[in-house]
Amino acid sequence: MGKNDKNGANGSKGLNNSPLARYRIYLQLEKSLSRNTLDAYMSDVNKFRDFLREGNKEILEATIDDFRDFLAALNDVGILPRSQARILSSLRSLYGFLRLDGYLENDPTELLKTPKIGVRLPSVLSVQEIDDIINAIDLSKPEGQRNRAMIEMLYSCGLRVSELCNLKLSHLYLSEGFIRITGKGDKQRLVPISQRAIAELEAYRIDRDRINIKAGYDDFVFISERRKKSLSRIMVFHFIKELAAAAGITKSISPHTFRHSFATHLLEGGANLRIIQAMLGHESIATTEIYTHIDRTRLRQEIIEHHPRNKKAAFR
């Protein structure tokens, strides 16, 4: 019997019986943490709780895949590896407590790797791999065309997943070839949209018009067929993983992978780094410069593979 069952009959305890309330008391009384440190721990825990709730899960139901998706989501919104490691440390503390206090038999964070601190080159998809993912989408399903449009928007416009989920119809200027994006810090930017992405969006509008959208969500571009409202980030994570598997892609990818691929392909095509910075909505050029590392790595690989001095001589 878990602690929830054991203490549930004591109505006078109220919310103090909840796992998170008991964990807060544990940090305060047994760990003797300062108020600021305590608040930092709980802020990290609440971020994960809110993430789980987007997928209709609670803290005690989390699996290792949920933690991996959460870390990918943190990376997607620009949280640096050092901060990711700190948040993961808070979650390890929580789940260690939940196991020791009888809420869980096993700690789901035990097999989770801590994000490496330092420059990590992101995964990049080739154009062919992106096309393979798009072609793996089943257009006979109600959400099929929506998913095609979403993948094309992530790649063609280099959007963050949060920017995709919050995209509004009133922010589309398709006849002018632009969309208006509200990025981090509520900063807005105009991003060019390709003709292919426009075609996918217009095809999706036919399916979207058939949905009885809930009040308050009418202006969102991408709508959940089942929930009748805007998509959550975790839903986008899940369907991209499914599509990658269906396409036979073995790389570890997330929605942010399409943004990385967008920037890398622009750089390889000769685009100016400042232009890429503006397209991505990076405040600092230093953030954009990671793509030059990717380009240099590929350049070195090309030289090794194709330079005559690196080829084995046919005759001795």
Catalytic residues: 160, 184, 256, 259, 282, 291
Contact 178, 171 (CB under 8 A): no
Listing DSSP states for 97-111 in one string gives: HHHHTTS-SS-TTTT
Terminal alpha carbon distance of the chain: 76
Instruction: Please tell me the distance from the alpha carbon of residue 271 to that of residue 2, in angstroms, as a whole number.
Output: 58
Contact 229, 128 (CB under 8 A): no
Residue with tokens 């070195």: 300
- At 191, is the secondary structure helix, strand, or coil? strand
How far from the centroid of its chain's Cα atoms is residue 226's Cα? 21
Instruction: Please tell me the distance from the alpha carbon of residue 295 to that of residue 300, in angstroms, as a whole number.
Output: 9
Contact 172, 201 (CB under 8 A): yes
- Residue 126: closest CA among 262, 303, 291, 289: 262
What residue type is 34 in one-letter code? S
* The token pair that represents 15 in the structure block: 């919310």
Contact 167, 221 (CB under 8 A): yes
For 132, counting Cβ atoms within 10 Å of its Cβ (0-12 exposed, 13-18 middle, 19+ buried), the class is: middle
